[in-house]
Amino acid sequence: MTTGGAYGTMLDSNWGVWLTQEGKAATLSYAGGYSAEWIVEAFGLSDGSVVPLADFGSVAFTGLTTSLPSWTMTKAEQVGLGAGPLLLAAPTGPDASGRGFSVTYTG
């Protein structure tokens, strides 16, 4: 979870206990939500520059789950990673199960 310049992570198996918590906020709180994200991304440095995205080939995300009982992905939810007019990484639509997809480096 990222919010207001702070971030943290927690496991579904230990809900409510933050594994990591850093940033401007002294504490993070989260009462639950209705979204999940699986991400391939370029990251930024503290000086504001972005580290060039490595040619990672393809990455497959399979067997994805959430705590929502009847969840599946839709093609409308896919978002590519771009830099200005360039597409750097392109996701596929969901696989036949609706619980997986791939992301391919396009440079």
Q: Are residues 11 and 47 in the same domain?
A: no
Task: Write phi, then psi, for 75 (nearest 5 degrees).
Answer: -60, -30
Edge-first strand listing for the sheet containing 6-9: 2-3, 6-9, 20-23
List, for residues 1-10, the tens digit of each pLDDT value.
555 566 667 6
| Residue 12 pLDDT | 67
Look up the CATH number of the domain holding residue 68.
Answer: 2.60.120.700
The model's pTM: 0.59
Q: Are residues 97 and 48 in the same domain?
A: yes
List, for residues 8-38, the tens digit of each pLDDT value.
676 667 666 666 656 655 555 555 655 667 7
- Residue, of 50 and 58, whose pLDDT is higher: 58
Q: Are residues 24 and 66 in the same domain?
A: no
Say how far apart CA 38 and CA 10 lie, in whole Å: 15
Number of domains in the chain: 2
Q: Which domain holds residue 8?
A: 1-32
Q: Are residues 6 and 53 in the same domain?
A: no
Q: Are residues 98 and 48 in the same domain?
A: yes
| Residue 21 pLDDT | 59
Edge-first strand listing for the sheet containing 86-91: 58-61, 101-105, 86-91, 81-83
Strand residue runs (E) in 2-55: 2-3, 6-9, 20-23
List, for residues 55-69, the tens digit of each pLDDT value.
989 989 888 877 667
